[in-house]
Amino acid sequence: MSSQDKSEVPEEHLPEVHASAHVPAEGDPFADPGLPAHEPRVTDIDEKAAKRAERQVAFLFVISMLSTIGFIWAYVGIDKRRIIDIFFFGKIGAQNLALGGFLGLALFCIGAGAIHWARTLMTDEEIVQERHEFTSDPETREYAIREFTQGAADSVIGRRPLIRRTMIGAMALVPLSGVVLLRDLGPLPGTKLRHTDWKPGVELINEATGLPIKPDDIVKGSLTMVLPDGLVEKYGPAGQKEELSHGWLEKAGMSAVLVVRLEPEDIKSKKELAWGYEGIVAYSKICTHVGCPIGLYEQQTHHLLCPCHQSTFDLADDGKVVFGPAARSLPQLKIHVNEAGNLAATQDFTEPVGASFWERG
């Protein structure tokens, strides 16, 4: 601000020097620098500028109001199935675009108006608020101690050690009730999550037909979902034991397996080859990321894709993760052909199925 300008500034808007800036405490090597001198803004000294700022703030608020009306119009007036093609962004739902745009503009204008208002018109004087002592004054402390001592004397707790000790015991034990209630968060899973209904000799049952599977039923390129024999009868929705049917999803989720046929020479891992039957291999259907059911198989690459977060597993290489957030391979189920010529499990899975979360415990 020039000296010419300063001569036109009203007295009350001239910069003032805070007294605290010049009063260093005696013996204090670090003098309080105080606050910088207050500089008036152009809107403090020029009524025209203040009016202009007022109109700008009001303009932003009016834009916000119109945007809100636009939002309501977009909600009722734009067909939600209408798609528009926007350069760079591609195809977008017109209603969603309008709703987001209007709401964003309405909120932005309220924020921008409030900031502009605060920076141009609200008082901007620096204010000092002195911190108070946190401790009470000596009289108050003395009073509290006196009251406490008097209360203790009135309760005769000093002369009644039996009451004192039992009361301390009661107060120490009462939080245990809350600890015991934590048990209701259980029962603890124990090793339940490490085992499925696959056991040695349990046949693979086609989930679609409900029948056992023979090796010739598995054709190259197809994906067959199977469950352990007996699972549907025991836990299925149409199971005879009604009280058990609520465990169906949990059981089916744990034990669901996908069976595919690969060319034996395409299988890179000896262990995978040995755990299958002439190129037929069985893997858990449950993604090791967070447990979605997997169902997309790419025959050429032997990749299995989880639709939830795109984890991709290589079925020709021990079910290893080749892409995505999953942290470990899909567990393989060891299978063989039994005397009846049906595919059957040789053993349970040797590692937990489903989300890797369980392994971190």
Given the rule CB under 6 A, which residues bind ligand FES? 287, 289-292, 306, 308-309, 311, 324-326
Task: Please give the order of strands across the beta sheet that includes 312-314.
Answer: 296-298, 303-305, 312-314, 320-323
**Stated length of the chain:** 361
- Considering beta carbons, is residue 256 or 287 the nearer one to ligand FES? 287
b/e 266-282 (16+ beta carbons within 10 angstroms → b): ebebeebbebbbebbbb
Instruction: State whether residue 158 is helix, strand or coil.
Output: coil
- Considering beta carbons, is residue 347 or 356 the nearer one to ligand FES? 356
Q: Which two tokens stand for residue 79?
A: 């067909």
* Least gap, CB of 313 to ligand FES (angstroms): 9
Residues with Cβ within 8 Å of residue 79, at least 6 apart in sequence: 94, 95
User: Which of 235, 227, 233 is closest to 207 using CA atoms?
Assistant: 227
* Least gap, CB of 294 to ligand FES (angstroms): 7
- Considering beta carbons, is residue 109 or 304 the nearer one to ligand FES? 304
* Least gap, CB of 285 to ligand FES (angstroms): 11
- Considering beta carbons, is residue 232 or 286 the nearer one to ligand FES? 286
b/e 71-92 (16+ beta carbons within 10 angstroms → b): beebeeebeeeeeeeeeeeeee
- Considering beta carbons, is residue 66 or 193 the nearer one to ligand FES? 193
- Considering beta carbons, is residue 235 or 313 the nearer one to ligand FES? 313
Inter-CA distances, 175 with 162, 180, 182, 185, 225, Å:
21, 9, 12, 17, 51
* Least gap, CB of 355 to ligand FES (angstroms): 7
Q: Which two tokens stand for residue 340?
A: 């009846």
* Least gap, CB of 239 to ligand FES (angstroms): 28
- Considering beta carbons, is residue 281 or 304 the nearer one to ligand FES? 304
Question: What angle in degrees, to the nearest 10, is found between the helix axes of 47-77 and 94-120?
Answer: 160
* Least gap, CB of 329 to ligand FES (angstroms): 13
* Least gap, CB of 312 to ligand FES (angstroms): 9
